[in-house]
Amino acid sequence: MTGTEFVYTLYIGTTPERLWEALTEPDLTRRYWGVAFETDWKPGSAVIWHEEGASTSHPEQVVLEAEPGRRLSYTWHTFTPEWGRATGVDEETRARLLLEPRSKVTFELEPVGGTVRLTVVHEGGEVLLGMSREGWPHVLSGLKTLLETGAPLPTT
């Protein structure tokens, strides 16, 4: 990890095709992440985030790369007042997030034996990456648990 990126690697007992579905299909992303994406997953296409009753869209919120079963990359969502209220992010933190450059996340999928190595690289500013260092391990643990057991992590 550097000051401008968060990197996390884990191994999931699944196939690249099933992992791809779990990263892109709204009914699955909602189960482990609480987020549903509205997009066709083609480079350049808009990505609309639906999270906690708030929807965010922006012309710069787009798919960057999409190679099914191998690589997915998109820019991060826009920090709207509605998103802040829905997710419990205070206005001071939201204002600091807005000062940072738009971040991006990349998922790299690689089959390894009977598992898939998933590497997540989130590039962004200090405030967002500070939040991401806490958020990504929980999201990715939920993803792994869902794919390996069929059930989401218990809520706390």
The Cα 82–Cα 51 span in angstroms is 10
Residue 154: pLDDT band (50, 70, 90) is confident
- Residue spans of the domains in the chain: they are 5-149
The Cα 63–Cα 44 span in angstroms is 5
The Cα 69–Cα 72 span in angstroms is 9
pTM for the full model?
Answer: 0.92
5-149 falls under which CATH superfamily?
A: START domain (3.30.530.20)
What pLDDT does residue 4 have?
87
**Which tens digit of pLDDT belongs to each residue from 14-26?**
999 999 999 999 9
Range in 45-49, 82-86, 112-116, 151-155 the model is least confident about: 151-155
Query: What is the crossing angle of helices 126-149 and 16-24, to 10°?
Result: 130
Which residues are within 8 A (CB) of 13 and not within 5 positions of it... i.e. 6 or more apart? 114, 115, 147, 148
**Which tens digit of pLDDT belongs to each residue from 87-144?**
899 999 999 999 999 999 999 999 999 999 999 999 999 999 989 888 999 999 999 9
What pLDDT does residue 52 have?
86
What pLDDT does residue 70 have?
98
* Dihedral angle over CA of 72, 73, 79, 83, nearest 10: 0
Flag whether pLDDT at 1 surpasses 80: no
> Under DSSP, is residue 20 helix (H, G, I), strand (E, B) or coil?
helix
The two structure tokens encoding residue 10 = 């884990």
Q: How far is CA 82 from CA 4, 38, 54, 129, in A?
A: 26, 17, 6, 21
